[in-house]
Copies of this chain bind each other. A is one copy, B any other.
Amino acid sequence: MTIAKQTVLKSFAAVVHDHGRCVTTALAKAETACATAGKRLTPLRRRVLELVWGSHLPVKAYDLLAILGREREQAAPPTVYRALDFLQQVGLVHRIASLNAFVGCGEPLQGHVSQFLICTQCGTVAELANLGLSTSISASAEALGFQATRQTIEVEGICKHCRKRGAQAVQ
CB-defined contacts of A98 to chain B, threshold 8 Å: 97, 152
- Checking B115, B144, B163 against A145 with a beta-carbon cut-off of 8 angstroms, the contacting residue is B163
Count this chain's copies in the assembly.
Answer: 2
Shortest beta-carbon distance from A15 to chain B in Å:
14
What interface size band does chain A fall in? 35 or more
Q: Is the interface of A mostly helix, strand, loop or mixed?
A: mixed
Let me know if A109 is at the binding interface, CB within 8 A.
no
Let me know if A16 is at the binding interface, CB within 8 A.
no
Residues of A within 8 A of B (CB): 1-4, 6, 8, 11-12, 97-98, 115, 117, 119-120, 126, 128, 130, 132-133, 135-141, 143-160, 163
